[in-house]
Amino acid sequence: MIQAKKLQEIGVRGSQVISPEKITFEERLRAFCEQNACRLYGKTWACPPAVGTVAQCKKRCLSYQNALVFNAVYPLEDSFDYEGMMEGHDAFQALCDRLYALIPKGTPFLLLSNEGCSRCKECTYPERPCRMPEKLFPSLEGFGINVLALSEAAGLCYNNGENTVTFFGVLFY
């Protein structure tokens, strides 16, 4: 669908197309969301409960024939560099925007990214529909996807060395 060279040009470190059936969905991951560990539960269209149950999310993902698993690696000053992690998070969201721009018009797809959406200063959830549904890239973890198992299924490195943070996404098509 999208050439490896183009993926590298937009900042993708590693990528692999796999069958969606190889992706592990775990109900127990949703418990982290429900505990509001990232403080986005019930506050955005990209996270639970807005995305549906894990079973609904899995069904949605399995309706596609292919899953392009991709990642990007960002440097940190040290393992406690929260600011660097947030910069990496934002950079990965921008990478997902660049990937979105490469998707041929009219192609049915679902793009999942890291954590929740932060496009709008204040999300419309749950009172009004999303302002930018075409650029709503829900959370992998919110869908119940085990990211470590995902990296293994795709043959991509989960931990890319000391003083780095690696973010993953999936483009279903």
Per-residue pLDDT tens digits for 20-69: 999 999 999 998 899 988 888 999 999 999 999 999 999 999 999 999 99
Please give the model's pTM, rounded to 2 decimal places: 0.95
Residues 6 or more apart whose Cβ sits within 8 Å of residue 87 = 74
What are the beta bridge partners of residue 47? none
- How many Å apart are CA 159 and CA 165, to the nearest integer? 8
**Rounded-to-integer distance, Cα 111 and Cα 106, Å:** 14
pLDDT for 9-30, tens place per residue?
999 999 999 999 999 999 999 9
Shortest CA distance to 153 belongs to which of 4, 24, 13, 3? 24
The domain segmentation of the chain, as residue ranges, is: 28-172
Work out the mean pLDDT of the chain and round it to a whole number: 95
Residue labelled with tokens 């969201």:
93
Cis amide bond preceding 126, omega within 30? yes
Spatial separation of the C-alpha atoms in residues 55 and 65, rounded to whole Å? 18
pLDDT (tens digit per residue) in 122-146: 999 999 999 999 999 999 999 999 9
